[in-house]
Structure 1
Amino acid sequence: MAWDLIDTAELVGGELALYRQGDRSSGEVFMIRVNGLELMNGFGHQSETVLGEMAVAVAKVSAPHILIGGLGLGYTLAATAAALKGAGRITVAELSPKVIEWFDRYVSASVLPERPLNLAIVPGDIGAFIRGKDVGPFDVIVLDVDNGPEALVSPQNAHLYSAEGLHAFAAKLSPNGVILLWSAFEAPDFVVLAEGAGFAVSATALAAVRRPDLLHYAYVLEHDFGSRQKSR
């Protein structure tokens, strides 16, 4: 079945496009592409769902404040909300106001039909948002912005995965807080960079839907202050 183009949104360095298959009576499935490349697809969101569940599982407190960078089709958010069961708080920072509009208008009815009371969705670049004066602290910061630690959606996202960017996130973590990053590919160079910046890194392989030969990855970053001191 062909994908129907619903809407587009301009970004610095490119364009986002929302596509749909089916209809409300038969069931709608959505996809977002960036510059013609698939960013996320409603047919294959199992690893995003696991990521949302992991966001709650890795938290060191029972009612965590979780920051999610990137709304997309909302599957990571929905899984996080379900795992929290009304506890804690969720803040989502989404670069494109259009993606928020798409989620509210088209996607949320099937992905997150009941908007949690503990949810705030804010428009803006997560790299700028995290540097806000009155932002945080967060028990878990989830980076679900690109297809991994490479700038795909916007060139400015490259800074998020630099040592300086990771330190900016770490500065807004609560004690024992963690950073959780989703990737469509294994990223050994990013692991080396993060460890060199003073983080302890662990990786979990996630099965991709409809592709048993394809693995996605979730990277957990904990700020290793001891290692950071040794590197100085």
Structure 2
Amino acid sequence: MEVAIPEYWLLPYIFASFSMLYLFGYFVIFRKWSRKYRPDASSCLISLFHGTPAVLMAVSAILHGPIRGFASANTTFQNVVLDFSIGYFLVDLLQYLILLPGDYLFIAHHLATLFVFITCRYLVVHGAFSLLVLLVLAELTSACQNVWTLAGLRKEELPNAAKIYKILSPPFYALYTVMRGLAGPLFFCRMSVYFLSGMASDVIPIWVSASWIIVVGGAILASILWIFNLWLEFFREKVNRTRKNS
């Protein structure tokens, strides 16, 4: 006889699964890596197991939801997707707090993301459609970004890693720019106009929706600045190589 796991009990299982995966990466897969790189590498591992599955789950939850609106009530499956991401971000946040406490930007990013997901999932139980669309746009670059990051960690030591890093950089930058610099802001503007109009205030308190706008807007701005700096570095290196070869 199959025993169904109650919806609210999924999060501990998800948290435990990502925790075990992180420890497996740290102590087994990356055991021969320098201690300097093992936390980031293990973080990339769990991110790989979160990003693409989260996109597929979120797309399915969006397309098969009975109502697709900025403030529509969360479906059961949309809540499951939120729990999946909450579990991942909790594990990754803990590894930053324990092993990389000086990485304030990522810690702030994870705390902000968790605030948005948790308030949507457990406080107002509305608005998952909006957040899952943003999750899809953000995590579409996850697989490429994590492989790029792993290659970047070892590019000074391994020629093959340096080659992968070099090959992946332009397409990753381009995809990230489209998703985080164009599509994301466009959807965010539409979402912000809707929430600020007050049309959702009967199901989502204005302080909640306003906080979502501030957090998501800050994350988008940070992403744009990050990819802009990467493009600057990319073209700067390209110009320097051209000068050396001329």
Q: Please give the TM-score of this superposition, normalised by the length of structure 2.
A: 0.23
When you count strand as a share of all residues, which structure comes out higher? 1
Q: Which has the higher contact order (CA 8 A, sep 6+)?
A: 2
Structure showing greater Rg: 2
When you count helix as a share of all residues, which structure comes out higher? 2
